[in-house]
Amino acid sequence: MSRSRRAIPRRLLAILILAVLSLPRSRADIGIAGHYDPPYTPTACFGHDPLQFPSSFLFAAAGEGIWDNGAACGRQYRVYCISADRPKTCNPAQLVQVRIVDRALSAVSRSSSDRATIVLSKIAFEAIANPSASSVNIEFIQ
């Protein structure tokens, strides 16, 4: 085989490697979302302060996986429902942005799911899924 014939596959391989490396990488995580109902105060992050809640009421309590010893307080997450036990539970293409205001483990109201990565306010959960579901599988990103 001549040198020029060997050079073509090497060039093609180099181009393929560069193309794969330039593909966007997903930085989202996968988890479970539950929901909780009022009362929401006091919270582990901000106590009784009513200003901790966004006017949209799109907020959440952090599960132990993202609580990070309280560093999660105030973080914003975009949450998207990807699946559930029952078909047609998720609202397709619906995304919510929530602010962490509490720790799920110590929240005044109990979560609908003990396995939740993130526990959404009732309004936030209803935006992405059927409220009769106790939990849904989610994709979330800070």
* Residue of higher predicted confidence among 122 and 2: 122
- pLDDT higher than threshold 80 for residue 130: yes
Map out the domains of the chain with their CATH numbers: 28-141 (2.40.40.10)
- pLDDT 10s digits, 88-120: 999 988 999 999 999 999 999 999 999 999 999
Q: What does pTM read for this prediction?
A: 0.81
* Residue of higher predicted confidence among 115 and 4: 115
- pLDDT higher than threshold 90 for residue 6: no
Q: In this structure, which long-range contacts are made by residues 50-55, counting pairs with CB atoms below 8 Å and at least 24 apart in sequence?
A: 52/101, 53/101, 54/99
CA gap 108, 131 in Å, rounded = 20
Q: What is residue 142's predicted lDDT score, i.e. its pLDDT?
A: 93
- pLDDT higher than threshold 90 for residue 12: no
Q: What is residue 97's predicted lDDT score, i.e. its pLDDT?
A: 97
- pLDDT 10s digits, 21-61: 665 555 889 999 999 999 999 999 999 999 999 999 999 99
Radius of gyration for the chain, computed over Cα atoms and rounded to the nearest angstrom: 21
Q: What is residue 11's predicted lDDT score, i.e. its pLDDT?
A: 73
